[in-house]
Amino acid sequence: MAKNKFNKNWLHDHINDPYVKLAQKEGYRARAAYKLKEIDEEEKLIRPGQIIVDLGCTPGSWSQYVRNKLAGQDGGGIHGTIIGLDMLPMEPIANVNFIQGDFREQAVLEQLEAVVGGRKVDLVLSDMAPNLSGIAISDAARVEDLIDLAIEFARAHMKPSGALLVKCFNGTGYSQLVEKFRQEFKTVTQKKPKASRDKSSEIFLLGKVLKHPSS
């Protein structure tokens, strides 16, 4: 009974959520687009000409937002390169190079290298989140694994002056993640955009300028 009540409450909140309505009106696949939009507007992360990688991109609202930012005024193509990676399929988005697979695997990295063509990435985005079990310690470990992967990816593929934005959760293990970011990046900022639900412990970490870039 309690589960039904929870589902009904969630559905009621979801249907009446202003960001859900806005996403439907503006053609975004998920309300998550507005989290990135707010962070981008504050931090000026996305600029024409950049190479941007969106890790865990499905269903694609972050890639949609990036595409809109890089689109030319003439309605033609985009000024820049967007690469979306996910193990799940994604409906195509114009001008987004989508690679389905696990980016820890060589074949997937080779596809990425083919698109990037020897250039380094300006910005790495990760809205990846594990399936949470509700068991704080194991959930914290799963979140940390994904953050480690994103950091590793950034160290291997990003310009030293680049930036990495990841989703994490403010709870068990969070302070260690912030510390991990501080070891890797010269500046670290914590972001809780308005589009992130108040009840959610979701928080975003932004690291700029690598301390130990790979050669």
Determine which one of 167, 180, 191, 192 is catalytic: 167
Which residues are documented as binding site?
60, 62, 86, 102, 127
Calpha distance 81→96 (Å, rounded): 8
Task: Indicate if 167 belongs to the active site.
Answer: yes
Calpha distance 29→117 (Å, rounded): 29
Query: In which residue are the tokens 């009974």 written?
Result: 1
Calpha distance 192→6 (Å, rounded): 24
Which residues are documented as binding site for S-adenosyl-L-methionine?
60, 62, 86, 102, 127
Query: In which residue are the tokens 């996910």 written?
Result: 86
Calpha distance 64→67 (Å, rounded): 5
Which residue pairs, CB below 8 angstroms and at least 24 apart, start in 187-193?
189/43, 191/39, 191/42, 191/165, 193/34, 193/35, 193/38, 193/39
Would you report the helix, strand and coil content of the chain in percent, each value rounded to 5? Answer: 40, 25, 35
Q: Which residues are catalytic?
A: 167
